[in-house]
Amino acid sequence: MSEQVAFQHIEKKSLIGTRIKKPDAPAKAIGKTRYINDMVLPQMLYAKILHAGRPHAEIVSIDTSEAEKLAGVYAVITAKDVPDLKLGFVKDNAPLKGKVRCERDEVAAVAAESEAIAAAALKLIKVVYKDLPGVFSPEDGLKEGAPIIQERFPDNKSLRFEFKHGDLEQAEKDSDIILDDEFNVHYVTHCCMGTSCAIADFDHNGKLTIYSQTQYPYNYKMDLAPALGIDPGDIRVIQPPTGGSFGAKLDVYPFEPVAAILAQKTGRPVKILFDREEEFINSPTRQPAKMHVRTGCTKDGVLTFRSADVLMDNGAYTSWGPTVPVIMMRTVSGHYRVPVVDFKGQAVYTNNAYAGSFRGYGNVQMTYATAQHMDMLAEKLYDDYGLDPIAFRLKNAQESGEVTPQKSFLRECAFAECITTAADASDYVNKLKKYTAERATDDRYKRGIGLASSIHNAGGAKIHKSDGCGTMLKVDDYARVTVITGASEIGQGIDAVIAQIVSEELGVPVEHVTLVNNDSDLGPWDVGVHASRTTFIAGNGARRAAIKAKKQILAAAAKQANVTADELDLRGGYVVQDKDGAVVIKLDRMLRQMHFQPVPDVVMVSDYYEPNSEPEGKDHISDHSAAYSHAVHIAEVIVDTYTGEVKVEKVTMAQDVGRVINRMGLEAQMEGGLAFGLGFALSEEMLFEKGHLKNPSFRDYKVPTAPDMPELDIHFIESDCAEGPYGAKGIAELPTIVIAPAIANAVYNATGIRFFNPPMTPEKVAHAIWDKKRTAS
């Protein structure tokens, strides 16, 4: 029956832009998927870590003897059992500490038969601490005689970044308006639903298999190995399904080498799994920042300069958090056309929590400032000079072909179209004027509308020597395709996109494409899932590999059919004539004929796609991404002026996506990304008191739930990126980046009050409204 051709002609039908279901969704929906949190290996032990629970102290002594005696305990380790200071961006962190520098510090760890026994053993460890005076703000860290956090950095100064372009003094003289404000962006955390977990297992040759939630399995080996004193080649990383990531797993954190060291010591697999409170206290945060931002503009509405002086709380150790200026400065220099730029960013060691990478990466912070400054300028230019707020934005919006002061080359730029599309769809200007006029009334509920935008890398970010991704692809004798890609899946949906792309090229059903991407022993290298890069980079790689396979198949078919390869195509599981879709041969049959001949021709291809971007470099002048993208959000809010509650009713989103690939996955990223920004804007905040996290639970740390979500009106602007797969750009971070300032601008429109220090909680908003009333009366 399979040889029967039911139809003679097969039309060319593209899948690009259609809705593709996530291949792993059914198993997840029926509860069958085994996440790393669910995994149990034979003979597995359970580990728990003793955290210091105090911000700054010397460890005078540790007595583990009672813990070691407890029945069911297999190993107890402390700093003396592990290499010192080998983790993090500047290698200032150790798996277990000899000195306490923050609340979460890992002091000892236990491996036992059960979690309960491990927890009981922790209570038997006796640690004598000598508390030291702490540093709890970057300003205090910079003071003369401040306590030293990291001995290698006696002035407490951690990373510093600078970028200057143009004559600032002259630009200030040329400005009719200069805004000068400080924005103070708070601590938030990822709150992945699956808490942090690692399972380590050594074989008898000393090779470590680590089951990990990591987002960057290949460089992860390089980062983990020194903390274990083993060769990175002796590490195999397996990535079981993970309950979210969002940037949280872009570094090696102490619990991972701790699990490995315990496995090494005991000869048994060892699992560490955080409970929710541990997750709050011991996971990375978003980098908080104090941002002194100045923006200049002429009375004609032309931006003259932007400067930013950013002070960051580094916390006690350096993960990715304090590197966010690399992206912040691209916003300062690239969010609208800015001719003169002055950026400074300084991180300072303190005894607080430390930040990692987090969806939006520095841009969530900086756009909160720049997009509000644009709104403040728009208001002033309208009030004083009658300039239309949209005309002002369009005047400064970049166009295709422009190059920013940092040499970001905006090859295909649809910024203006994003602005006009969102403004028209939401009736922005009319509502803005109406709500401004209504501000003076005594109504309890005030409406507001706010526009914000931003720019972000949309074709990876070359912060490593390579920003590439490898792909290996085979088409078997039954026309089933297996793709082995370096790209990681953390829920974002690269599984669907790669199946879709390969299906598009090879004309096989999406369901006939199997993706293998969770084992570093199988997969080729990839830099990791971050920087909105995976569809762009891994998608390009998968497409290029599929095209190679297609060429090989068509060459063989052409030879057989006595035509040229470009007269043929692959559609619906057949080799067909390209011009009319006439069937030549069934694909699986063709593949078997290629295989079973004296000189076998088997379809196994590979590709390594390296985007045409330039390394970031120390001067920060490089075209560091293969594409850039813009997005505009217009938020409509209702503010209850009695309670301070801000309800976001509707958001109109217009984003340059290059080209829609998987429409359903794209929408899902927009919606989910926005939810993150919504929480950041309105409700989420980690509250620290002298380095101690006061709200480590979902009860006291409020992430958005279903009733908080606004109505969304999403517009995809297709700029057709020449370098992207089918024209696509990376998309996943902008939705998180743009929403918070859009809400802040809307709240301003409703109340006349600027919120420079998010989140805009009811308490904060109500107080500001009452204070304003009091001052007015």
Of 127 and 740, the one with the shorter C-beta distance to other proteins is 740
* In the complex, least distance from residue 422 CB atom to other proteins, rounded to whole angstroms: 18
Of 280 and 609, the one with the shorter C-beta distance to other proteins is 280
Q: Is residue 21 a contact point for other proteins (CB under 8 A)?
A: yes
Angstrom distance (rounded) from CA 551 to CA 213: 37
* In the complex, least distance from residue 119 CB atom to other proteins, rounded to whole angstroms: 13
* In the complex, least distance from residue 105 CB atom to other proteins, rounded to whole angstroms: 23
Q: Is residue 65 a contact point for other proteins (CB under 8 A)?
A: no
* In the complex, least distance from residue 493 CB atom to other proteins, rounded to whole angstroms: 7
Q: Is residue 490 a contact point for other proteins (CB under 8 A)?
A: yes
Sign of the Cα pseudo-torsion (84, 90, 92, 94, in order) = negative
Nearest to 378, CA basis, from 177, 155, 640, 636: 177
Q: Pick the binder of other proteins from 16, 17, 18, 33 (CB under 8 A).
A: 33
Q: Is residue 44 a contact point for other proteins (CB under 8 A)?
A: no
Q: Is residue 686 a contact point for other proteins (CB under 8 A)?
A: no
Secondary structure class of 19 (helix, strand, coil)? coil
Beta-carbon neighbour count of residue 737 at 10 Å? 33
* In the complex, least distance from residue 1 CB atom to other proteins, rounded to whole angstroms: 23
Q: Is residue 257 a contact point for other proteins (CB under 8 A)?
A: no
Sequence-distant (≥ 6) Cβ neighbours of residue 550 within 8 angstroms: 505, 506, 570
- Cis peptide preceding 154, ω within 30 of 0: no
Angstrom distance (rounded) from CA 514 to CA 119: 41
* In the complex, least distance from residue 732 CB atom to other proteins, rounded to whole angstroms: 11
CA geometry: angle at 717 spanning 716 and 718, to 5°? 110
Of 515 and 626, the one with the shorter C-beta distance to other proteins is 515
Enumerate residues 593-632 that contact other proteins by CB under 8 A: none
Of 116 and 391, the one with the shorter C-beta distance to other proteins is 116
Structure tokens at 344: 């400074």
* In the complex, least distance from residue 658 CB atom to other proteins, rounded to whole angstroms: 20
Of 429 and 668, the one with the shorter C-beta distance to other proteins is 668
Binding letters toward other proteins, positions 218-247, x by CB under 8 A: -----------------------xxxxxx-
Q: Is residue 697 a contact point for other proteins (CB under 8 A)?
A: yes
Of 131 and 700, the one with the shorter C-beta distance to other proteins is 700
Angstrom distance (rounded) from CA 622 to CA 612: 12
Of 32 and 80, the one with the shorter C-beta distance to other proteins is 32
Q: Pick the binder of other proteins from 664, 695, 715, 752 (CB under 8 A).
A: 664
Contact between 465 and 543 (Cβ < 8 Å): no
Of 490 and 527, the one with the shorter C-beta distance to other proteins is 490
Of 37 and 264, the one with the shorter C-beta distance to other proteins is 37
Q: Is residue 698 a contact point for other proteins (CB under 8 A)?
A: yes
Q: Pick the binder of other proteins from 491, 523, 572, 691 (CB under 8 A).
A: 491
Q: Pick the binder of other proteins from 506, 510, 703, 743 (CB under 8 A).
A: 703
Q: Is residue 537 a contact point for other proteins (CB under 8 A)?
A: no
* In the complex, least distance from residue 512 CB atom to other proteins, rounded to whole angstroms: 18
- State how beta strands 157-165 and 341-349 pair: antiparallel
How deeply is 31 buried, as exposed, middle or buried, from its count of CB atoms within 10 A (0-12, 13-18, 19+)? exposed
Of 43 and 697, the one with the shorter C-beta distance to other proteins is 697
Q: Is residue 665 a contact point for other proteins (CB under 8 A)?
A: yes
Of 42 and 386, the one with the shorter C-beta distance to other proteins is 42
DSSP string for 266-307: HSS-EEEE--HHHHHHHS-BPPPEEEEEEEEE-TTS-EEEEE
Angstrom distance (rounded) from CA 221 to CA 381: 54
Strand partners, 236: 209
Nearest to 257, CA basis, from 246, 242, 268, 272: 272
- State how beta strands 574-577 and 583-586 pair: antiparallel
Enumerate residues 711-730 that contact other proteins by CB under 8 A: 712
Q: What is the 3-state secondary structure (H, E, C) of 671-725?
A: HHHHHHHHHHHHCCCCCEECCEECCCCCCCCCCCCHHHCCEEEEEEECCCCCCCH
Contact between 652 and 499 (Cβ < 8 Å): no
Structure tokens at 606: 């590979």
Secondary structure class of 366 (helix, strand, coil)? helix
Core vs surface per residue 206-232: b (16+ CB within 10 A) or e: eebbbbbbbbbbbbbbebbbbbbebee
Structure tokens at 217: 């399995």
Q: Pick the binder of other proteins from 5, 29, 222, 687 (CB under 8 A).
A: 29
* In the complex, least distance from residue 692 CB atom to other proteins, rounded to whole angstroms: 20
For residue 694, the one-letter residue type is K
Structure tokens at 759: 């989140």
Secondary structure class of 657 (helix, strand, coil)? coil
Q: Is residue 671 a contact point for other proteins (CB under 8 A)?
A: yes
Q: Pick the binder of other proteins from 44, 119, 522, 709 (CB under 8 A).
A: 709
Sequence-distant (≥ 6) Cβ neighbours of residue 313 within 8 angstroms: 137, 138, 288, 347, 348, 350, 352
Binding letters toward other proteins, positions 191-220, x by CB under 8 A: xxxxx-------------------------
Scanning 25-33, 257-265, 283-291, 328-336 for contacts with other proteins by CB under 8 A, the matching segment is 25-33
Binding letters toward other proteins, positions 150-189, x by CB under 8 A: ----------------------------------------
Scanning 313-321, 453-461, 567-575, 673-681 for contacts with other proteins by CB under 8 A, the matching segment is 673-681
- State how beta strands 646-656 and 628-640 pair: antiparallel
Q: Is residue 71 a contact point for other proteins (CB under 8 A)?
A: no
Of 242 and 370, the one with the shorter C-beta distance to other proteins is 242
Contact between 347 and 159 (Cβ < 8 Å): yes
* In the complex, least distance from residue 533 CB atom to other proteins, rounded to whole angstroms: 18
* In the complex, least distance from residue 709 CB atom to other proteins, rounded to whole angstroms: 5
Angstrom distance (rounded) from CA 751 to CA 439: 6
* In the complex, least distance from residue 672 CB atom to other proteins, rounded to whole angstroms: 4
Of 37 and 314, the one with the shorter C-beta distance to other proteins is 37
Q: Pick the binder of other proteins from 9, 12, 13, 34 (CB under 8 A).
A: 34
Core vs surface per residue 107-128: b (16+ CB within 10 A) or e: bbbbbbeebebbebbbebbebe
Count of residues that interact with other proteins, criterion CB under 8 A: 55
For residue 81, the one-letter residue type is D
Contact between 572 and 530 (Cβ < 8 Å): no
* In the complex, least distance from residue 755 CB atom to other proteins, rounded to whole angstroms: 22
DSSP string for 129-158: EEE-----SHHHHHSTTPPPSSTT-TT-EE
Scanning 31-39, 219-227, 602-610, 615-623 for contacts with other proteins by CB under 8 A, the matching segment is 31-39
Q: Is residue 706 a contact point for other proteins (CB under 8 A)?
A: yes
Scanning 405-413, 562-570, 707-715, 757-765 for contacts with other proteins by CB under 8 A, the matching segment is 707-715
Interface residue list for other proteins (CB under 8 A):
19, 21-22, 24-26, 28-35, 37-38, 190-195, 241-246, 275-276, 490-493, 664-665, 667-668, 671-676, 678, 697-699, 703-707, 709, 712
